[in-house]
């Protein structure tokens, strides 16, 4: 059963996810104001006994209920367009990683280093160790440095998949014959999990993503070991 702390967003681990949460809160604040106003107006109309059969039109009221929705739409549209622009930003990446979706696992290739590529399979439930999460752990983690721009180039070899990390605010479709890209800029180290978010066949729910974020010194050490 879902707990109260699991009903909202995951804690943000990137500036992009922080902006997504801010926009969500901004939108919910406006929606709650509108809902409160409508409920209050409806309630007052039901309980008051005043009537006026002589009023056929009111220019002031019509002007207000025409202009007010327009202003509200602007308050929603402008932050939304700004956020869409931020989602497509891929400037000055320090590292480029190619991600390929397969039925039913992910493969990763560090394009800047010729010898580093591996497949990432889900660990079966009977092989999990203490502290590992069922259906989320993989045998190989995708490792990236924190507080650096990492470009992900995503595609698929068979059907449409979707590479998703909720805490980073990223969800990109992996489409055969097409390259999609996104930028990661993680704020803190740790293990972060995601799953394929596009129904891709019988084992769709068995191709998780385990992202390990480490500091730059540890990342360089890992690169040295892999080479």
Looking at residue 225, its pLDDT comes to: 84
DSSP string covering 61-119, please? HHHHHHHHHHHHHHHHHHHHHHHHHHHT---S-SEEEEEEEETTEEEEEETTSTT-EEE
Q: Is the pLDDT of residue 55 over 80?
A: no
Domains of the chain: 15-47+60-88 (no CATH), 95-226 (2.60.40.420)
Looking at residue 142, its pLDDT comes to: 92
Give Cα separations from 53 to 22, 56, 57 (angstroms): 46, 8, 11
Q: Report whether 196 contacts 214 (CB < 8 A).
A: no
User: Residue 7: which residues within 8 A CB-CB, separation 6 or more?
Assistant: none
Chain centre to alpha carbon of residue 79: 17
Which residue is associated with the tokens 């932050």? 79
pTM, entire model: 0.81
* H-helix or E-strand spanning residue 1: none
Q: Is the pLDDT of residue 156 over 90?
A: yes
Looking at residue 47, its pLDDT comes to: 86
Q: Report whether 183 contacts 89 (CB < 8 A).
A: yes
Tens digit of pLDDT for each residue in 58-75?
788 888 888 998 999 999
**Whole-number Å distance between alpha carbons of 98 and 152:** 6
- Tokens linked to 22: 């801010």
- Tokens linked to 10: 């995951």
**Whole-number Å distance between alpha carbons of 28 and 35:** 10
Q: Report whether 153 contacts 107 (CB < 8 A).
A: no
Instruction: Measure CA of the first residue to CA of the last residue in the chain; give whole Å.
Output: 45
Looking at residue 30, its pLDDT comes to: 93
- With both helix axes pointing from N to C terminus, report the angle between 15-47 and 59-87 in degrees, rounded to the nearest 10: 160
Phi/psi of residue 53, each to 5°? -85, -5
DSSP state of 226: H
Tens digit of pLDDT for each residue in 157-210?
989 999 999 999 889 999 999 999 888 989 999 999 999 999 988 989 899 999
- Tokens linked to 6: 């699991």
């Amino acid at each position: 059963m879902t707990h109260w702390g699991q009903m909202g967003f995951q804690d943000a681990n990137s500036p992009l996810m922080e902006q997504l949460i801010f926009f969500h809160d901004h939108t919910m604040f406006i929606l709650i104001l509108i809902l409160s106003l409508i409920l209050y107006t409806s309630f007052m109309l039901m309980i008051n006994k005043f009537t006026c059969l002589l009023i056929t039109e009111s220019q002031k009221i019509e002007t207000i209920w025409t202009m007010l929705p327009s202003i509200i739409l602007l308050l929603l549209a402008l932050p939304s367009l700004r956020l869409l622009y931020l989602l497509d930003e891929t400037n000055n990446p320090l590292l480029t990683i190619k991600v390929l979706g397969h039925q039913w696992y992910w493969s990763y290739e560090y394009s800047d280093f010729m010898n580093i590529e591996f497949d990432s399979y889900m660990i079966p439930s009977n092989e999990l160790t203490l502290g590992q999460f069922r259906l989320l752990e993989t045998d190989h983690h995708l490792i990236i440095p924190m507080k650096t721009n990492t470009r992900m180039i995503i595609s698929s070899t068979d059907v449409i998949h979707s590479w998703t990390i909720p805490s980073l605010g990223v969800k990109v479709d992996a489409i055969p014959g097409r390259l999609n890209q996104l930028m990661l800029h993680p704020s803190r180290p740790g293990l972060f999990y995601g799953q394929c978010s596009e129904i891709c066949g019988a084992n769709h729910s068995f191709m998780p993503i385990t992202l390990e974020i480490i500091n730059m010194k540890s990342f360089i050490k890992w690169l040295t070991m892999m080479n």
